[in-house]
Amino acid sequence: PTANIGVVGLAVMGSNLARNLASREGNTVAVFNRSYEKTETLVTEHPEAGFVPASTYEEFAAALQKPRTAIIMVKAGGPTDAVIDELMRVFEPGDIIIDGGNSLFTDTIRREKAVREAGFNFVGMGVSGGEEGALLGPSLMPGGPDEAWVTLGPILRSIAAVAEGEPCVTHVGHDGAGHFVKMVHNGIEYADMQLIAEAYDLIRRGTGKTPAEIADVFAEWNRGELESYLIEITAEVLRQNDAATGRPLVDVIVDEAGAKGTGAWTVQTALDLGVPVSGIAEATFARSLSSHREQRDVSGALPGPSDDAFTVPDADAFIEQVRLALYASKIVAYSQGFDEIRAGAAQYGWTIDLGAISRIWRGGCIIRAQFLNRIADAYAAEPELPVLLSAPYFVEALGRAQAAWRDIVQIAAGAGIPAPAFSSSLAYYDGLRAERLPAALIQGQRDFFGAHTYRRTDKPGTFHTLWSGDRTEIEAEDTH
Q: Which residues contact ligand NDP by CB under 6 A?
A: 9-14, 33-35, 38, 73-76, 79, 82-83, 101-102, 127, 130-131
Write down the least CB distance from residue 382 to ligand NDP, Å: 32
CB of 3 to ligand NDP, least distance (A): 18
Shortest Å, Cβ 39 to ligand NDP: 9
In 25-145, which residue ranges form alpha helices assigned H by DSSP? 36-45, 57-63, 78-90, 105-117, 130-136
Distance of CA 86 to the CA centre of its chain: 31
Catalytic residue chosen out of the listed positions 86, 182, 198, 330: 182
Spatial contact of 149 and 98, defined as CB atoms under 8 Å apart:
no
Determine how many CB atoms are found less than 10 A away from the CB of residue 249.
16
Question: How far is 282 from 290, CA to CA, in rounded Å?
Answer: 12
Q: Which residue is nearest to ligand NDP (CB)?
A: 101
Pick the closer one to ligand NDP by CB: 10 or 267: 10
Q: Which is nearer to ligand NDP, 8 or 389 (CB)?
A: 8
Measured distance CA(406)–CA(458) in Å, rounded: 34
Nearer of residues 124 and 248 to ligand NDP, judged by Cβ: 124
- Determine whether 386 is exposed, middle or buried from the number of CB atoms within 10 Å of its CB (0-12, 13-18, 19+): exposed
Class of residue 292 by CB neighbours under 10 A (exposed 0-12, middle 13-18, buried 19+): exposed
| C-alpha to C-alpha distances, 328 to 226, 290, 348, 403, nearest whole angstrom | 10, 24, 30, 10
Could you write out the three-class secondary structure of 268-287?
HHHHHHCCCCHHHHHHHHHH
How many whole angstroms separate alpha carbon 179 and alpha carbon 276?
A: 20
The answer to whether residue 260 is catalytic is no
Check if the beta carbon of residue 346 is closer than 8 Å to that of residue 357.
no
Task: Output the smallest distance, CB 13 to ligand NDP, in A.
Answer: 3
Nearer to ligand NDP, 131 or 225 (CB): 131
- Smaller CB separation from ligand NDP, 11 or 118: 11
CA 30 to CA 174: how far, in whole Å?
A: 27
Q: Which of 189, 198, 282, 340 is catalytic?
A: 189
| 3-class secondary-structure state, position 90 | helix
State the Cα–Cα distance between residues 396 and 440, nearest whole angstrom: 30
Amino acid at 369: A
Nearer to ligand NDP, 57 or 371 (CB): 57
Q: What is the largest CA-CA distance in the chain?
A: 87
For ligand NDP, the closer of residues 183 and 286 by Cβ is 183
Distance CA 301, CA 281 (A): 27
Report the nearest approach of ligand NDP to the CB of residue 255 (Å). Answer: 22
Q: How far is the CB of 18 from ligand NDP (least distance, A)?
A: 11
How far apart CA 43 and CA 142 sit, in angstroms, is: 27
The answer for residues whose C-beta is within 8 angstroms of residue 41's C-beta and 6 or more apart is none
Our CB check for ligand NDP shows the closer of 69 and 102 to be 102
The upper half-sphere exposure of residue 54, i.e. CA atoms within 13 Å in the direction of its Cβ, equals 26
Least distance between ligand NDP and beta carbon 36 (Å): 9
Smallest separation (angstroms) from ligand NDP to the CB of 102: 3
213 is catalytic: no
CA within 13 Å, CB half, 232: 11
Question: How many CB atoms are closer than 10 A to CB 57?
Answer: 19
Q: Which is nearer to ligand NDP, 260 or 455 (CB)?
A: 260
Q: How far is the CB of 104 from ligand NDP (least distance, A)?
A: 11
Instruction: Report the distance separating Cα 279 and Cα 425, nearest Å.
Output: 6
| Active-site amino acid positions | 182, 189
